Chain A
Amino acid sequence: MPIKHPNLKLTRLTDAVPAWTGDITPEYLFEICQQVRDGGGRLVALWGSDVRQQGGGFLLHITLMNESGLVCLNVPLPAEHPNYPDISRIFPAANRMQRAAYDLLGLYAHEGHDHRKWLRHGAWHGGSFPLRKDFDAAASLTHEPEDYPFVQVEGQGVHEIPVGPVHAGIIEPGHFRFSIIGERVLRLEQHLGYVHKGIEKRFESMSVQQGAKLAARVSGDSTVAYAWAYAMAAECIAKVTPSSRALWMRALLLERERVANHLGDLGYLGNDVALSFGFAQFWILKEQVLRNNAALFGHRYLMDKIVPGGVTTSLDVEGKHIIEQECDMLDEQVRILRNIYDEHAGVQDRFIGTGRVEPKLAAQLGLCGMAGRASAQAWDARVQFACAPYDKLDVKMATYRNGDVAARVIVRFDELFESLRLQREIMVNLVHDNEAPALLEKLPANGFGIGLVEGWRGEVMVAIHTGAQGNLTRVHPHDPSWQNWPLLEHAVIDNIVPDFPLINKSFNLSYSGQDL
């Protein structure tokens, strides 16, 4: 049992990862969060749901994590004034999540001091809330973009550089407001939400299998992680376990996604320090992985291969052989390239000490995932909460203390090699057969399930709530970028403006995944 509190009764969720759920009234919320925080735990996600049609008010959902597992707290809030105590004083990462919960559902964190809108830019009226069941889309639309009150930095010689939402490269949109003096960055403030597409609302009109397709497109670069987390949540509600072959396949696909993304990032990180050789080389390797994905699994990014109930793809002996050869080739080539990066004075000069996040700050603000591990935050869902088949794989976690661009590069290299090792291990265990997947077409009524998967960027969580007909009444996908974006604001302080693209790339956070 991960949390003990006299007013909290936890029930174990049947799940691939250790997870519990329980109801708690708002007055004890702060106390419980503090207790988890004091024990070294973290905030994973915060979202809300509208249960007025079931005779309730609203529910605030908070997922916390400590070394024993995940706890999903449900906090009932009255329909009239759905207020709850601000928990960003305990978990600073809650700030933007709380503001999003207000924009989308009208849940209000009282006693908080930052109530600026986050996901609503003025496309719909303030005071109308898209995720409420009685939301009238047609009546709520406006075309009046609202100003965003950035924090002004004052003083002699300080000026601002506004960047975005359309960026200078092939990147997702968002706005960055730099306050600088000379070339030195005094402050960066982000304003995200530009690619808010109404994903969470869209889920509510979908069947469980359609929802899997949407989940796979929350953040296209992490399609496998999202599809697996979604499937895990659905299977948690239906209390089914996919076949062992399906689980081995899922792990194979997840590791291939990690390899492809790390290869791409390592190439761009070289490019950003003027070593275009690095881009050319790493992207040749990435392309070979993508082509093998297309040939073996029918999709370059492995979209829609993981569905609730199982997987829609298989791998024969010939395919295994291709993957083994690919692993050998990558092992050899990446070693050569790593050596070149390590020995290149210009590259190391730009990497080392740039965009540093000290371990203490990382812990305080809740930095997670790959970037977290580069700042000594030793969390990896494949290690701490190893769901099948990771419980048989003994994943070696890559951690580093320096917290700079160089550390995030090293962690990527280490994880890439580990993923190659894991793929080889998976090849040994994966048996080929052409069994049709036992697809989940219907979920039980009034259920709740949660899935947690360590994607290449960090832990991806998906929570599903079903209604009286087993329909999707609320689906919340949570990207690790929610936690990590605020740390990027800290990482650039005292760096020079031209290093921002490099620092940003070293985190490579998702816009779509947090804008929803």
Chain B
Amino acid sequence: MYQILKQIIKTGIKSETPPQADDGMRLIEQRLQQEILDVFGGALAIRQVDAGSCNGCELEIHAVNNAYYNIEGLGIKFVAGPRHADLLLVTGPVSRHMEVALKRTYDATPEPKLVVAIGDCACDGGIFCSDGAIGAGENYATCGKVSNVIPVDVAVSGCPPTPVAILQGILTAISAGRHGAQK
């Protein structure tokens, strides 16, 4: 126990200032009222769904939980199921094998809910798609970007996006946003 306490004290506090919301990441205008956002902002529960990623984005989502980005310090935590989640954090080009599971997870998440797509593949299908055989950004095994399958509020690009960008995407989703700021 002494060794653990000593190490904790020696390590000190590593947490850094969180980034500001960025309206440029919005795909659609904020749908939720300020009152709800205030509640979310105090304690947001996130369910992460890997819908077909290479596991690269997951590495950075893990990193958001480390002491530097300290997402829990902002009142945001990752939860084990969709039924008590406010926000879905979805990665991957959506594989056809995950299409049903993603839709069911979305349906199981109670309203009001938000969806943030993480990574280039979630934004536009990325490197795995767009061979043109079926439709732009799709192939025999994937449905492409997340918004092809469920509605997406905020999209964070990057391969993988940095933890700061992921945090920014989440904070954007729960911020009021300027009127007409969507792309």
Contacts and interface: CB of A to CB of B under 8 A. Distances in A.
A510 to B, nearest CB: 7
Given A137-B134, A214-B127, A343-B3, A165 B140 contact: no
A141 B57 CA distance: 28
A280 B9 CA distance: 13
A218 B134 CA distance: 22
B169 to A, nearest CB: 15
Interface in B54-94: 54-63, 65-68, 78, 80-82, 92-93
Contacts of B36: none
A360 B106 CA distance: 45
Contacts of A197: 52, 93, 95, 128, 139, 141-142
Contacts of B80: 168-169
Given A165-B98, A202-B128, A137 B53 contact: no
B48 interface: yes
A135 B134 CA distance: 12
Given A223-B56, A301-B160, A173 B139 contact: no
B139 A170 contact: no
Contacts of B52: 194-195, 197
B3 A198 contact: no
A138 B140 CA distance: 7
Given A172-B50, A217-B127, A511-B55, A198 B140 contact: yes
Interface in A365-389: none
B54 A287 contact: no
A261 B118 CA distance: 21
Contact of B140 (A130, A170, A218): A130
A114 to B, nearest CB: 20
A102 interface: no
B142 A173 contact: no
Nearest to A226: B54
A364 interface: no
Given A199-B128, A202-B139, A165 B56 contact: no
Interface stretch (A31-39, A307-315, A332-340, A445-453): A332-340
B31 interface: no
A194 B101 contact: yes
A281 B50 CA distance: 26
Contacts of B55: 172, 219-221, 510-512
Contacts of A219: 54-55
Nearest to B104: A166
A13 interface: no
B7 A166 contact: no
Interface in B140-162: 140-142, 159-160, 162
A170 B48 contact: yes
A286 interface: yes
B16 to A, nearest CB: 10
B39 interface: no
Interface residues of B, dominant DSSP: mixed
A258 interface: no
A340 B3 contact: yes
Contact of A290 (B50, B53, B63, B101): B63
Contacts of B95: 123, 194-197, 515
B163 to A, nearest CB: 8
Interface residues of B, number: 52
B99 to A, nearest CB: 8
B131 A202 contact: yes
A141 B99 CA distance: 13
Contacts of A409: none
Interface string A199-218: 10110010000000110011
B101 A165 contact: yes
A283 interface: yes
A150 interface: no
A300 interface: yes
A286 B51 CA distance: 26
B33 interface: no
B101 A287 contact: no
A300 B65 CA distance: 16
Contact of A287 (B63, B140, B142): B63
Contact of B4 (A166, A277, A301): A277
A217 B56 CA distance: 8
A123 B54 contact: no
A187 interface: no
Contacts of A303: 56, 159
Contacts of A213: 127
Given A220-B54, A284-B11, A286-B66, A173 B98 contact: yes
A496 to B, nearest CB: 19
5 contacts: A205-B131, A214-B127, A281-B11, A284-B67, A301-B59
Given A170-B78, A277-B4, A283-B63, 15 more contacts: A123-B96, A137-B140, A165-B98, A166-B105, A170-B62, A173-B98, A198-B142, A201-B141, A202-B127, A214-B128, A217-B159, A280-B66, A283-B67, A286-B63, A287-B68
Ordered nearest first, which 8 A-B pairs have the shortest CB separation? A220-B56, A198-B141, A123-B96, A168-B80, A283-B66, A220-B54, A137-B140, A220-B55
